[in-house]
Structure 1
Amino acid sequence: MTKKILLSVFILPAVMAFAQQYGGMWIPTELNEKEMKDLGMKISAKDIFNTQKPSIKDAVVQFNGGCTAEIISPKGLLLTNHHCGYGQIQAHSTVQNDLLSNGFWAKNPDGELPNPGVKVDFIVDIKEVTDFILEGTDNLVEPELAKKINKNIEVYKNSQKIESYQSIIVKSMYYGNKFYAFTTETYKDIRLVGAPPQSIGKFGSDTDNWVWPRHTGDFSMFRIYAGKDNKPAEYSKDNIPYVPKHYLPVSIKDKAENDFTFVFGFPGKTTEYLPAVAVEKIMKDIDPARIAVREVALKTLDEKMRTDSETRIKYASKYASVANYWKKWIGEVEGLKKSNAVEKKVMYEGSLVAKNHEIKTTLDQLNKLYNDQAPYALNNAYYTEVVKNAETLKLAGDYYDYIASVESGKMEEKELTKLKSKVTSFYKDYSAELDAKVTAKLLALYVNKTAPQFLPAGFSKYKDENQNIPMIEEMSKNSIVTGRSQVNGAALTGDIEKAFSNQDKLIKTLKKDPVYQLYASMKETYMKTADPQFTSLQGKIDDLQKKFMAQQMATDKDRKFFPDANSTLRVTYGKVKGSTPRDAVSYGYQTHLAGVMEKYIPGDYEFDVPKKLIDLYNKKDYGNYKDKTGDVPVGFTATNHTTGGNSGSPALDANGNLVGLNFDRQWEGTMSDINYDPRFSRNIMVDTKYILFIIEKFADSKWLIDEMKVVK
């Protein structure tokens, strides 16, 4: 009976005709064009990616190294998520002029706000360069193999002729079995054009994050500026709006279930080809550890943010960042269980072994290595999350690295300048008093969840968070790391140049600093008792994973493989679709403005609604943006296989028109990073009708819509 159940789970995706069996994040030069057309695509692969003439790829950029954005006008108008532009909106906000709460809309190009340091990257070309990069590596093993590959990469990059504003990035695919070169073009003058208030752009906030049905207007608008030759240039008042090779027409046609859609963007990281044992460790050990740490940090921050506006603004972006993956990991664990991911992997591995018995040896070795690594991997998860989410320890880590660099003679002036800039920026949004509480609570969790052999001597004194709070607060008060004590006559939070003026004195003072010493004891114990073992075993796992990947590709001739996401440009596709994630629970594919009003809670920080939006709803003043129901569509779901980094990606229809803006996944399907399952995996998009409705009717910014090509 058990075998029959497992088999039905394993083969189920193959009979789900509306989506790929394995999902897919396809390199745009290697699209699965036949399946895309079978599902309804009307354009060709060359319309999506072409180096000989303008194509859709010329309208898609990586936004500031993380999210995706797309060009939607001939004047370089850029659309991305509200949460992708959140840091820039926050940077322009003050208590007196709170753009997060009030929103921002430039009334003309002169009102657009510059964002120093923000950049966008176009992909100019993609080439497979495997033979070149792996030349001369046949008989090499680590570390000589990595050295030779790196040398070959540098030789390749130096052999290519590019412009000063271009770069070549060579990326490993399929765990080192293939290599691709990406030629990029970077623009550095990016200005904020518009953003709805967070009561629209972040509606539902943390409660609705990763959840469907969703009613969030998660979008913001920027513009790319260029020199007068239309080429990249540093910020200047004399720069002009960038004229793109291609921009996306914006469709406001109604959607229907099973409409073809595809998403074009820069997905961050997936691990679809891991063995069953690795998936089991993630599900049972690693994710639960990460969740536990972030839960403590978030609860402590939330208590303060709800009662203090200054803290709310200061910590808004950071809180959202921490909460994002906390909730994602919770959904991932549930999704892995629900989709029977481990059992499915075991059966797939059995089918591979039946065709190629050599794979059994590889899997046996992987099983042993993962089990040997387990205690070190768990400590790694707790340690890295604690020192990342206790900001006081994170700061101490920066100064620890600074001292190590100085004492080894590796601290160059430019690195010192970068450090000063980094910590100055960090202190701007840091509360030493609040983080003392976070640190105290996280230390208690760390002590209680960590095996004694991984703890510094005497660390058991931090077992009780209530006793920790006054202890850590006292440390914080007497620390230069926190900026509450001075060195060289200045606080690091104030005159940083003065604080760094006498380097010897600064280093001596840091070494005696109570917060620094606390971090140092944790770091040095971790580096002695866990990191070498974890890293050594991971290196062996990586070597075998490369072999396992090659064996999968050579053995399973019926499967069309795509490389795991690694922040490079990819296409994923599927169909507009609702879902049935649980027994007797069925979700439609579309939400509407009426649903926003159903969730509305006056004064609530997550579900408040601007008065003007309520008035527009009550008057039914929807313009061209209502659908056949008579309401304005807000969001929709489809079977596209997306992940982090796809935030802000354009969702396109069968003809390549923009129909939505990707911003999330459905909670029940967040395990798709590891195990795509078409029953549960849904990406969530803002409907273009809602975006244009907010711009025109709510923001009175029709001048922006007049720039666009709107398909009605």
Structure 2
Amino acid sequence: MRKLASLVLCLSLLLSFSIAKADEGMWLLSLLKKQNAVEMQKMGFKLSAEDIYDINNNSMKDAIVGLGNEGRPFRHFCTGEIISDQGLFLTNHHCGFPSIQSHSTTEHDYLADGFWAYNKGEELTNEGLTASIMVRMEDVSKRVLATVNDEMTEDERFEAINKVSAEIVKETEANSEYKASVKGMFEGNQYFLFVYEIFQDVRLVGAPPQAMGKFGGDTDNWMWPRHTADFSMFRIYTDANGKPAKYSADNIPLKPRHHLPVSIKGNQENDFAMIMGFPGTTNRYLTSFGLEETMNITNKNRYDIRTVKLDVMMKDMLKDPKVRIQYASKHAGSANYWKYSNEQNKALKKLNTMGAKQEIEAEYTAWANKKKKRAAKYGDALNMIEKAYTDRKESRYEMSYLSEALLQGAEMYMFAYKSTGLMKKLSADSLDQASIDRSVEGLKGTAKAFYKDYNLPTDQKLLAALFAKYAENIEPDKRPDIFKVIAEEYNNDFAKFAADVYSKSIFASEESYNKFLENPTADAIANDMGYEIATSIIATYRVLSNEINKGAEGLSKGKRLFVDGLMQINKKQNLAPDANSTLRLTYGKVGGYSPKDGVYNKYYTTLKGVMEKEDSTSYEFNVPARLKELYKNKDFGQYADKDGSLHTCFLTNSDITGGNSGSPVINGNGELIGAAFDGNSEAMSGDIDFEDNLQRCINLDIRYALFIIDKYAGAKNLIDEMTIVK
């Protein structure tokens, strides 16, 4: 998006910004033939657009899986790719991490030891995990936007769009097992319908030990060179008719419409490579005003607060194997964007992204004011955006602290808030015992899952540390009321307050909560210290939300008009909409990069680097004995490169973001050569401003994954399922 900023604003205002090269853009599959196919073929793609997306015939899209959770299946958190005719798919280790953790115990520590199913009967079920495969997509902009006009308020516009979108979804899903969603693009200037098959029986098949799957830990995260075996494997199951179904022992492996052949031929610099997946969120059309908020509030506060949170968790994790397992997924999830926030701010400053945004805005303003009629519609867009960000600055700062330190801090009191429904039923004028009993049974199940990965002493420490951090940065009159209690009754001694809370709250332990559920009362919930904390925080959250929402009308309209203007300015250019968790394709080439003067990073790493990084004193750089033995003996089998080494990871200049984790890296023949899992720190500005010379996607070499499956784990049953291209 940096290319939106042209060097000179011509006096004639005949602007033509070149804003998207091959390596920039998350492209919609249904538009590939029109927008990208010719350029892709010139770069080395040997197939056609129809080989990627075809609603009448099997195509590559049928092998791409969006991972989600039941209840939020369209919010894909990762991507996978089907690699056998039996529904086997590959994704990242960090995508499978919550599932691996959920099955781990001190007796069966799959995090530390890895997990491999040597037959289908050994595969592990994962309740709530979904796998979506896109059936088709359709531009429905004309129908959706026909319901709105310029005289509408943004709220009226929103309601009209939601109404027609719901109608489209209802019509699409009628008499069908498919699920549908209408998604806005370009800040509400376009709309597309996406239709999916959503599978609910997804089983864990294999994962290397954490020492390999997360090799390098937080130290190497977002860094190159990289040597992480970031993969795990799952299988999709269906009912006997091949349709989506919840888990049943009678379910059968999916027979996919397409699966990706797996190439062990390797890759060379400048080889064509494309990535398909479900990127989560980008903000390429963000203004300078939004950028200031992102840098100085969102990123800074997230990094500062999570530094405290991660330190508390890690200290307890290192002391106790059970706590390590309980908090492994929580720590990993928090740490990822902790480091990202800091590295992104560094990159944004170094690359002067603010200057690039301001240049775009200056050129937009000149375009908007060129004609009177145009100025009337578009001339005030940036002013509306600036005012909204300025007016909400204080509230956004307070909200970021409330969210990170309190809502996403210690867990006990927010778990306590889940009993609100039961409390209301218990305090009703007319008691419905059957309804109360159903609530109690539901809470028992919720409690079992919650306390499995909860450690009272750790949570108590988190409350004390994060409440103290919050109080250091938020003025007393802006804090939740519970902080008045802490000041008046505990003299702002947060450790003492936390100790009192966790010694008295019925929610502090599974035993005390289950005992309460045997004879629940409304007063016991309402007067509980944990519950009081939660209600106090929620009350402040609502106040801040209202403050922030006061400017939502102007911000929404301003952003929509601003992006509409950019689309008109660049109407002769192919524009890619921001990522929004829908299936996209990005393409480019394999290649290294120069992060600074005199330094060039080559495009691949090898197993030798794993051995060079080994540090037995660091949990991040442990190397399993079996892997060292295979390396010593050079026992790489058919997965070695032609130079005899075993390649571990490689780089492409692909445009990815969160949600692309696990996405297949595919060569010009449509064969799988790797799995995307990270980006490089020098270009962490990429979600906001793509930097052509620095932006790189870090990918697992598929040969390293196959080597681990075959040689390390001995799971040849999985290798035999795949279509291996030599």
**Does the alignment reach a TM-score above 0.5?**
yes
Distance 2:257 2:294 in 1: 43
Amino acid at match of 1:708: M
Distance 1:369 1:114 in 2: 47
Distance 2:603 2:421 in 1: 49
User: Do structure 1's residue 470 and structure 2's residue 499 form an aligned pair?
Assistant: no
User: Do structure 1's residue 392 and structure 2's residue 412 form an aligned pair?
Assistant: yes
1:154 is matched with 166
Residues 397 and 683 of structure 1: CA distance in aligned 2, closer, same or farther (over 3 Å): farther
Question: What pairs up with 1:64-213 in 2 under 5 angstroms?
Answer: 64=68, 65-138=76-149, 139-160=151-172, 162=174, 164-213=176-225
Question: Does structure 2 conserve the Cα–Cα contact (< 8 Å) formed by 1:599 and 1:607?
Answer: yes
1:491 is matched with 512
What's the secondary structure of 1:262's corresponding residue? strand
Amino acid at match of 1:520: T
1:319 is matched with 331
TM-score normalized by the length of structure 1: 0.91
User: Do structure 1's residue 37 and structure 2's residue 61 form an aligned pair?
Assistant: no
What's the secondary structure of 2:250's corresponding residue? coil
Distance 1:456 1:92 in 2: 37
Residues 208 and 45 of structure 1: CA distance in aligned 2, closer, same or farther (over 3 Å): same
Distance 2:439 2:63 in 1: 35
Question: Does structure 2 conserve the Cα–Cα contact (< 8 Å) formed by 1:22 and 1:677?
Answer: no
Per-residue Cα deviation, 1:40-62 (whole angstroms, up to 9, x for no partner): 22221111111010000000111
Per-residue Cα deviation, 1:543-571 (whole angstroms, up to 9, x for no partner): 21111111111123354211111111111
Distance 1:27 1:121 in 2: 17
Question: Does structure 1 conserve the Cα–Cα contact (< 8 Å) formed by 2:154 and 2:556?
Answer: no
Question: What pairs up with 1:530-679 in 2 under 5 angstroms?
Answer: 530-602=544-616, 604-679=618-693
What's the secondary structure of 1:627's corresponding residue? coil
Amino acid at match of 1:153: S
Deviation at 1:401, TM superposition (A): 7.1
What's the secondary structure of 1:306's corresponding residue? helix
Per-residue Cα deviation, 1:150-183 (whole angstroms, up to 9, x for no partner): 2212222222355553111111111111111111
Residues 300 and 217 of structure 1: CA distance in aligned 2, closer, same or farther (over 3 Å): same
What's the secondary structure of 1:664's corresponding residue? strand
Distance 1:437 1:230 in 2: 49
Distance 2:356 2:134 in 1: 36
1:293 is matched with 305
1:245 aligned residue (235, 257, 264): 257
Residues 578 and 19 of structure 1: CA distance in aligned 2, closer, same or farther (over 3 Å): farther
Per-residue Cα deviation, 1:329-368 (whole angstroms, up to 9, x for no partner): 1111111112211100111122222322234521122112
Per-residue Cα deviation, 1:360-382 (whole angstroms, up to 9, x for no partner): 52112211221111111111111
Distance 1:108 1:617 in 2: 27
Question: What pairs up with 1:453-464 in 2 under 5 angstroms?
Answer: 453-456=477-480, 459=483
Distance 1:369 1:41 in 2: 45
What's the secondary structure of 2:25's corresponding residue? coil
RMSD: 2.7
What's the secondary structure of 1:232's corresponding residue? coil
Question: Does structure 1 conserve the Cα–Cα contact (< 8 Å) formed by 2:639 and 2:703?
Answer: yes
Amino acid at match of 2:147: G
Deviation at 1:240, TM superposition (A): 2.0
Distance 2:175 2:603 in 1: 45
Between 26-35 and 635-644, the greater mean CA deviation after superposition = 26-35
TM-score normalized by the length of structure 2: 0.90
Question: Does structure 1 conserve the Cα–Cα contact (< 8 Å) formed by 2:275 and 2:665?
Answer: yes
User: Do structure 1's residue 381 and structure 2's residue 382 form an aligned pair?
Assistant: no
What's the secondary structure of 2:677's corresponding residue? strand
1:441 is matched with 465
User: Do structure 1's residue 371 and structure 2's residue 397 form an aligned pair?
Assistant: no
Residues 545 and 248 of structure 1: CA distance in aligned 2, closer, same or farther (over 3 Å): same
Amino acid at match of 2:448: T
What's the secondary structure of 1:85's corresponding residue? helix
Between 430-439 and 401-410, the greater mean CA deviation after superposition = 401-410
2:60 is matched with 56
User: Do structure 1's residue 479 and structure 2's residue 505 form an aligned pair?
Assistant: yes
1:222 aligned residue (216, 225, 234): 234
List structure 1 segments (4+ residues) > 4 angstroms apart after TM superposition.
6-10, 161-164, 400-420, 460-466
Amino acid at match of 1:379: E
Distance 2:20 2:182 in 1: 31
What's the secondary structure of 2:273's corresponding residue? strand
Question: Does structure 1 conserve the Cα–Cα contact (< 8 Å) formed by 2:636 and 2:711?
Answer: yes
Per-residue Cα deviation, 1:92-132 (whole angstroms, up to 9, x for no partner): 22101111111111122222222233221110010111122
Identity value in percent:
39
Question: What pairs up with 1:246-265 in 2 under 5 angstroms?
Answer: 246-265=258-277
Residues 419 and 351 of structure 1: CA distance in aligned 2, closer, same or farther (over 3 Å): farther
Q: Which ranges in structure 2 are unaligned for 5 or more consecutive residues?
A: 10-17, 69-75, 370-374
Deviation at 1:604, TM superposition (A): 3.2
Distance 2:646 2:8 in 1: 38
1:14 is matched with none
Per-residue Cα deviation, 1:277-305 (whole angstroms, up to 9, x for no partner): 11122112221011111110000111111
What's the secondary structure of 2:699's corresponding residue? strand
Amino acid at match of 1:256: Q
Question: Does structure 2 conserve the Cα–Cα contact (< 8 Å) formed by 1:440 and 1:465?
Answer: no
Amino acid at match of 1:197: P
Per-residue Cα deviation, 1:522-541 (whole angstroms, up to 9, x for no partner): 3323433x221112223421
